[in-house]
Amino acid sequence: MEPTIIINIKNCCGCNLCVLFCSWRRAKYFEPGKAAIQVNKDYKRNRYQIVLDEEKCDRCMLCVAQCPTGTLLKGEK
Ligand code: SF4
Ligand code: SF4
C-alpha cells in the first residue's frame, strides 16, 4: 500500500495554505511555483481545482496536515 492524497474539492476555500507549505518544504521559502500542488479557480463552475504534480510530490502529507477544511485527506492505494 502506498500513501495517496484524496481530494474532497467541494470543501476547498482557496486559501492556498497547501501550496505555500509545500513550497516551503521543497524550496525553504514561500513561492507557489515551487510547490508540487496548485490551486486554481474554475470560474465557469465557480469552484476550485487542485492540480497535483505526481512527479514532484513525495507524499510527505504536509499539505494534508495544513489544510483547514478537510479538502485534502490521506489515503492509500
Ligand atoms: S504531499 Fe508533500 S510534496 Fe506532495 S503536494 Fe503535499 S506537501 Fe507537497
Ligand atoms: S489548504 Fe485545503 S482549503 Fe486551502 S487551498 Fe489547499 S486544499 Fe483548498
The pLDDT value given to residue 75: 95
The pLDDT value given to residue 47: 94
Check if the beta carbon of residue 61 is closer than 8 Å to that of residue 46: no
The pLDDT value given to residue 77: 85
User: Which residue's entry shows cell 496536515?
Assistant: 65
CATH number of the structural domain 3-76: 3.30.70
The pLDDT value given to residue 30: 94
pLDDT at residue 1 greater than cutoff 90: no
The pLDDT value given to residue 13: 97
Most informative mutation of 9, 38, 39, 61 for ligand 2 (most atoms within 8 A of CB): 39
Per-residue pLDDT band at 45 (split at 50, 70, 90): very high
pLDDT at residue 7 greater than cutoff 90: yes
- Domain borders along the chain are 3-76
- 28 Cβ neighbours under 8 A, 6+ residues apart: none
Distance 45 CA to ligand 1 centre (A): 26
User: Which residue's entry shows cell 484524496?
Assistant: 6
